[in-house]
Structure 1
Amino acid sequence: MATEQLPDVEANLKRSITLPQAMGVSFHQIVGGGVIALMGTAIALTGGGAPLAFVIAAAAVVVYSLPLAALGSAMPVTGGRYTYAARLFSPTWGFATMWFSVLVTVQLSLMALAGAQYVHALAPAIPVRPLALLVMTVFFLTNLAGSTFSNRIGIVLGVIMLVAFLLYAGVGLRQVQWETFTDLAPHGTGNLLTAAALLTFAVTGSSAVAEIGREMKQPGRDIPVSMIGGIVIAVALYVLMAIPSVGVLGAEQTAGKPMTLVADNILSPAGFAFFVLGGAMVSVIGHINSLLLTATKPVLAAVGDGWFPARLGAVNKRFGTPHWLLLLLYVIGVTPVLAGFSVAAIAGMASVALTPVIAIMIIASCRLRARYPHHYADAPFRMRRGIHLTTVVIGVAVLAVQDYLLIGKLTIEANLALLLWTIVGFTVWVLRHRRVAAASTPAPAASGSPA
């Protein structure tokens, strides 16, 4: 059978993303989920231990982000969540990671609904779901204008968000009842660790920078710096905000509640509005912006291997954006809002879908080291073999525990959606895997950036 000529889907992508822009992607991917969606949940589980739970979660994520950072430094690619598994294991493994990465796009609905709920607390006349749809649509259109333009917006949004969140933290810290923190595990160590496991999902978003390696100016350096740096900066902010979130009114009043409850008590009306619009809402739209930037990349890489028709991966030559893929992922992202899914159902689907994807990428870092030692040795960021293996084992174990805890919290509608998505994915695989197997898979380039 003749070898199929595959499209060069990366030809029009622009190498324009700088280190500050990559840090912005990493930071926004973390902050949108953690502070806005999960603070009340963390307090409900841990009480005064909520700040410590964030620290434990961050430590766990840093451990398994180290092999991801090494992988990205040695092998900067487009669509790492597909390419790493496809090149280092097999195209079928790549398809599986890509397919479930696409499902993570439902985070668009999760973030937009969370932000809209905060705005609704400020202005009850504004309906939640229409506002969520408006936010997603605006940033979908923004991303069509090109990744560099979108990331510049992300940097501006990041500054506004930091000011709003630091205002909340600064004013709140002066009103904290410090006796709240005399017992950091009032509900038991088990609940503290459970909260930390749940919060790891909020901190894992920095791995998204591995999706845009071929669009970075210096990916070997910028991927590990932005990945680990984004975690450290974001979690420092988490802790500063978690302390007043539980320490001002007490855990009993704030458990399971949004931070607007505390913000309304400690800030002036103008400050409260700025916190909601400039902090909560901006963090949400920043997360949406960076998610749209990175979510197309695994599918784009899969198009290059023949899993989908070449037309789906068409890249606009003027803006360097895959416009059809952006449209497709936008439709997937907004569907849960249109279908009336709850925030809990959306979060469950996204969490369970992402965890095995990250685990496969972690294991792939060992595969790269074994198969292409010269690429690993030439990478700006690398680890000793023993440390590397230890971080991989610990990371996979942490992810397994995290998924176990999350699966137990899935709603019926989330289970059905996951099942349907899996069936559709298997059908696509059956229809396309022979075509992909017949096509040639390019070998890693000698430059140190295997593709």
Structure 2
Amino acid sequence: MASVPPKLEKRIGLSQAVLSGLGVTIGAGIYVLIGAGAGSAGNAVWLSFVIAAVISGFTALSYARLARFKPVNAPEFHYVKLAFNQRLGFLAGWLILWSMVVSAAVVSLGFAGYLQQFIDFPAAAIAAALVGLSTLIILIGTRQSMALMGILTAVTVFGLVAVIVIGVPHLGSVDLLEAPKGLTGVFGAAALVFFAYLGFETMANLAGEMKDPGRDLPKAMLLVLAVSVVFYVLVALAAVSVLGWEALSSSSAPMTDVFRLGLGSSSAGAITIISMAATGSTAFFLLLSASRAVWEMSCYGVLPLPFCTIGQRRTPWVAIVGVGLFSIIFILIRNIETVALFTNIAVLLAFTGINAAAIRLSKTIGKAANSKPRAWERITPAAGIAACLWLAWNTGTAALLFGGILAAAGLVYYQAFVARAWSSRPDRDESPP
């Protein structure tokens, strides 16, 4: 066990953090899942994005308040542990960690699907190659990684802006409140498109590499969520206005079809490349964030110690390689919609823990800030708990079963490998490193 955890290079400022968050948040979710969302919510899919944003917002406020109090890597693990106990903290970190690893695999498969528009090559091989390339770039160093993220994010945002512009002349052509399955369909779509907002929480894994995490991390989280909401709602309005929910839901490449109808067939190649940038950047940052979470939890003694190793370039190379290998294994999972729901249930359970921690630690945070807890600082996380549990219920039976199995596996691992080692630590009651 590392007595003095190694330090990561501190080079990330507010703008880089925002770009990183946008890179993973504005990505595969909107480019891949908007069609499936429209199949459930109809033309009112934009409303599903609003509902998912509100639910995300409650939790973002909890993350921001906790991050301002104590910025850390692997925040789900540390905050829930600090508020409750080691076991629940580990479970929260476990759920988030696996959600990132599996999501990276699925998003990589989404990238492969777009690339197959140009080359005839097995999707699994393409996805594995993307994970391998992303892993190599992350190994090179954080500064180089962030530069690439900025480029990919700019390309992704350009594609969304183009979709919005294409949709403007078509606004009013469809009933934007048409929901063939009623509110049940709108809520079901919200449980699915919630995946599109995942990303703001992973930014906290970069706390150890930020110049001023206490000041910049909360701002970056809220900025990323605000920008994402605006883009998603506008893109959803544009897409259903151009195609209508029936055509949108039956399309395997919805953004390509929007471009094709709005700009002609010659534009299909351009949006395909943009979609590859979107899915590629999402996979990249998920791998980056997951490796930092593994490194932190390993240094703290709840994952195998070798993952705590820092290389000559001041990057956690063992954690980076390990996450990449596990993602390649999960590439065998091919249904993006199903695994998105699997990811969502894991994240929603962890978010419930974060909101509960924000309530439990409200007095501690107030003392640290020399102020009394205000009413809203308890109300918003309580609303977050209720909203997360409600949305989790709407993910469906299969996702709920997956979440239960994943949580049970985490508790078994904890009891078998972590609890005994932790009980023998002389410093087990100390604060997280």
Settle same-fold status: TM greater than 0.5.
yes
CA distance in 2, matches of 1:420, 1:181: 41
Q: How much does 1:243 deviate? A: 2.0
In the alignment, which of 367, 375, 383 is matched to residue 394 of structure 1? 383
* Counterpart position of 1:433: 419
Q: Residues 418 and 326 (structure 1 numbering): CA distance in 2 closer, same or farther, change over 3 Å? A: farther
Pick aligned residue for 1:353 from 332, 336, 346: 346
Q: 2:41 corresponds to which letter in structure 1?
A: T
**Cα distance between partner residues in 2 of 1:243 and 1:409:** 30
Query: 1:342 offset after TM fit, Å?
Result: 2.5
Query: What residue in structure 1 maps to residue 111 of structure 2?
Result: 115
Q: Is the 8 A contact 2:81 2:89 kept in 1?
A: yes
Residue range with higher mean Cα deviation, 264-273 or 144-153: 264-273
Higher mean Cα deviation, 247-256 or 14-23? 247-256
Q: C-alpha separation between the residues in 2 aligned to 1:182 and 1:306?
A: 52
Q: Which moved more, 1:63-72 or 1:249-258?
A: 249-258
1:276-316 Cα distance to aligned partner (Å, 9 max, x none): 11x21111111112112211233322222322343221011
1:385 equivalent in structure 2 = 374
Q: Any unmatched runs of 5+ in structure 1?
A: 445-449
> Whole-Å Cα distance in 1 between the matches of residues 68 and 333 of structure 2?
41
CA distance in 1, matches of 2:370, 2:290: 29
Match of residue 204 from structure 1: 198
Q: Does 1:7 align with 2:6?
A: no
1:342 to 335, 348, 351: 335
Matches within 5 A, 1:63-74: 63-74=58-69
- The count of corresponding residues between Structure 1 and Structure 2 is 429
Q: What residue in structure 2 maps to residue 226 of structure 1? A: 220
Q: In the aligned structure 2, how far is the partner of 1:428 from the partner of 1:83? A: 15
Q: Does 1:286 align with 2:281?
A: yes
* Structure 2 residue identity aligned to 1:255: S
2:299·2:307 contact (CA, 8 Å) conserved in 1?
Answer: no
Query: Contact 1:48–1:183 at 8 Å: present in 2 too?
Result: yes
Equivalents in 2 of 1:348, 1:210: separation in Å?
23
CA RMSD, 1 decimal: 2.5
Aligned residue identity for 2:3? P
- The amino acid of 1:347's aligned partner reads A
Q: Is the 8 A contact 1:49 1:186 kept in 2?
A: no
Instruction: Say which SS state the counterpart of residue 427 (structure 1) adopts.
Output: helix
2-side partners of 1:64 and 1:147: how far apart?
27
Q: Which residue of 2 aligns with 1:447?
A: none
2:330 aligned counterpart, secondary structure: helix
CA distance in 2, matches of 1:263, 1:8: 54
User: Contact 2:195–2:340 at 8 Å: present in 1 too?
Assistant: no
Checking the alignment, whether the CA contact within 8 Å between 1:17 and 1:217 is kept in structure 2 is yes
Tell me the amino acid that sits aligned with residue 441 of structure 1: R
- Contact residue 336 and residue 346 of structure 1 kept, 8 A: no
1:190 maps to a residue whose letter is T
Instruction: State the shift of 1:124 in Å.
Output: 5.9
Q: In the aligned structure 2, how far is the partner of 1:25 from the partner of 1:409? A: 31
Asked if the contact 2:104–2:284 (Cα under 8 Å) also holds between the matched residues in 1, the reply is no
CA distance in 2, matches of 1:154, 1:97: 27
Q: For the Cα contact (< 8 Å) 2:188–2:395, is it kept in 1?
A: no
Q: Tell me the CA shift for residue 63 of structure 1.
A: 2.1
1:213 offset after TM fit, Å? 1.3
Quote the Cα distance in structure 1 between the aligned partners of 2:258 and 2:156. 17
Please state how far the C-alpha of 1:153 moved relative to its aligned partner: 1.0
Give the conservation status (yes or no) of the 8 Å contact 1:29–1:290.
yes
The Cα offsets for residues 386-408 of structure 1, whole Å up to 9 and x where unpaired, read as: 10111111111111012112142
Q: Are the aligned partners of 2:191 and 2:341 in contact in 1 as well (CA < 8 Å)?
A: no
> 5 Å matches for 1:21-420?
21-104=16-99, 105-120=101-116, 122-123=117-118, 125-174=120-169, 176=170, 178-181=172-175, 183-257=177-251, 258-259=253-254, 260-277=256-273, 279-316=274-311, 318-337=312-331, 339-377=332-370, 385-410=374-399, 415=402, 419=405
Counterpart of 1:200, as a letter, is F
8 Å contact 1:168–1:267 — kept in the other structure?
A: no
Q: Structure 1 residues 428, 192: CA separation in 2 closer, same or farther (over 3 Å shift)?
A: closer
For residue 182 of structure 1, report the CA deviation from its aligned partner: 5.0
Q: Which amino acid is the alignment partner of residue 59 of structure 2?
A: Y
TM-score using structure 2 length: 0.91
Letter in 2 for 1:116: A
How far has the Cα of 1:180 moved from its partner? 0.8
Tell me how far apart the structure 2 counterparts of residues 246 and 239 of structure 1 sit (CA, whole Å): 11
Tell whether the 8 Å contact from 1:106 to 1:333 is kept in structure 2 after alignment: yes
> Contact 2:260–2:266 at 8 Å: present in 1 too?
no
Rounded to whole Å, the distance in 1 between the matches of 2:429 and 2:146 is: 30
| Secondary structure, counterpart of 1:12 in structure 2 | coil
Q: Cα deviation per residue 1:335-388 (whole Å; 9 max; x = unaligned)?
A: 122x3542234323322222111111121122332235332448xxxx952101
Separation in 2, partners of 1:351, 1:132: 21
Greater mean alpha carbon deviation, residues 344-353 or residues 148-157: 344-353
Q: One-letter code of the match for 1:400?
A: L
Give the TM-score normalised by structure 1.
0.88
Change (3 A) 1:182 1:359: closer
